[in-house]
Chain A
C-alpha cells in the first residue's frame, strides 16, 4: 500500500513579545529589535499539519480529517488563538515565543495525539514571508537529511 501525506491548515491570531530577562535592555533591543516592544505585537499564524501513513483499506483514510480537525481545535486553537503567547500559554513559559519555539511546542502537543499514521511535519507561518518547518527528532523529509 502506498504511503501518502495529508495536510490540514488552520489559522490562529495571537500576540507575543521577544524579551530575555537575562539580557540588558540594550541587548534586548539589539537582538530582538522591534519584536522587543514591551506591550507585544500580533500575527495571523497559519499552521499546516502533515500526517503520513498508509490509507486504511476499509475507510480509504490515513487519518479521519474530522479527528485531526478536533485535535487541532483542542490542542492548538483553544490554547493559542487570541492569546498573548508569553503569558497565556504555559508550554511556552520561560521560552522566547519565536516561530521556532512555537512550532516545537505544537509538534510536542500534537505528536502523542495522532492515532493513525505519524506526524511528518508541522509548518508554522508567522507571516507569508517567514515560516518554520518542524520534523520532530527524526531526519528531515525535505531533502533526505543533512542536519547540522
Chain B
C-alpha cells in the first residue's frame, strides 16, 4: 500500500527580500513591500510528508515522536522567532523567499532516519504556499 503520512507545524519568523547585486530600484521593482529595510514577519505553516512501509508491530510509517523531535531540532528551533536573513546562515547567501526557505527545509529534513521524505509544503500566508519534493518536484501551488 502506498501511503504518505503528513504532519503540520508552525513557526513565526521575519525576513526581507533583498538582493545586494541589484540596485535599490531593481530591488524595489522586484520585491516591492517585501524589500522594506527592516523586514517583516509571517506565521509559516509547514507540512512534512513521509512515506514507507507500515511497521506491523506499531501500525506506523514512523513514530510521530521521532518525526516531531527531528523537525523540532532541524527546523523549528533554528527558524522560530528569528530574522531568517541574519539568524539562519543559509540566508546570508540566498534571498529568503518562501521558495528558498522551502528548499532549505527539505534539505535539512531529507536525512530523516525512520522514513523517506516525500514532500515539504510551506505556507507563507493562507494565500500562497510552495511544495518541494526534491530536485524534480519544485512547483508553486
Select from chain B the residue with minimum beta-carbon distance to A22.
B57
Q: Decide yes or no whether A112 CB sits under 8 A from chain B.
A: no
Contact of B59 among A95, A130, A136, A142 (CB under 8 A): A95
Is the pair A136, B4 in contact by a Cβ cutoff of 8 Å?
A: no
Closest Cβ of chain A to B9, distance in Å, is 8
Is the pair B8, A147 in contact by a Cβ cutoff of 8 Å?
A: no
- A32 CA / B60 CA spacing, docked (Å): 10
Is the pair A134, B57 in contact by a Cβ cutoff of 8 Å?
A: no
What A residues does B61 contact at CB under 8 A? 100, 132
Closest Cβ of chain A to B21, distance in Å, is 32
Is the pair B51, A148 in contact by a Cβ cutoff of 8 Å?
A: yes
Interface residues on A, range: 35 or more
Interface residues of A in 96-148 (CB under 8 A from B): 96-101, 103-104, 107, 128-140, 142-144, 146-148
| Interface size, chain B (Cβ < 8 Å) | 30
What A residues does B6 contact at CB under 8 A? 130-133
Is the pair A33, B137 in contact by a Cβ cutoff of 8 Å?
A: no
Interface residues of A in 65-119 (CB under 8 A from B): 95-101, 103-104, 107
Is the pair A135, B64 in contact by a Cβ cutoff of 8 Å?
A: no
Is the pair A139, B2 in contact by a Cβ cutoff of 8 Å?
A: yes
- A32 CA / B55 CA spacing, docked (Å): 13
Q: Which of B30-38, B74-82, B115-123 lines the interface with chain A?
A: B115-123
Q: Decide yes or no whether A18 CB sits under 8 A from chain B.
A: yes
- A101 CA / B65 CA spacing, docked (Å): 18
What A residues does B5 contact at CB under 8 A? 99-100, 130-132
What A residues does B9 contact at CB under 8 A? 129
Interface residues of B in 2-34 (CB under 8 A from A): 2-9
Of A22, A97, A132, A138, most buried by chain B (CB within 10 Å of CB) is: A132
What B residues does A96 contact at CB under 8 A? 58-60
Is the pair B63, A143 in contact by a Cβ cutoff of 8 Å?
A: no
Is the pair B115, A148 in contact by a Cβ cutoff of 8 Å?
A: yes
A and B contact pairs by CB, cutoff 8 A, 30 listed = A18-B59, A20-B58, A22-B57, A23-B57, A32-B58, A96-B59, A96-B60, A98-B58, A98-B59, A100-B59, A103-B3, A107-B1, A129-B8, A130-B64, A132-B3, A132-B5, A133-B3, A134-B3, A136-B1, A137-B1, A138-B2, A140-B4, A142-B49, A142-B133, A143-B133, A144-B136, A144-B137, A146-B51, A147-B51, A148-B52
Which residues of B pack against A, CB within 8 Å? Answer: 1-9, 49, 51-54, 57-61, 63-65, 115-116, 118-119, 133-134, 136-137
Ranked nearest first, the 3 interchain pairs of A and B with the lowest CB-CB distance are A96-B59, A98-B59, A143-B133
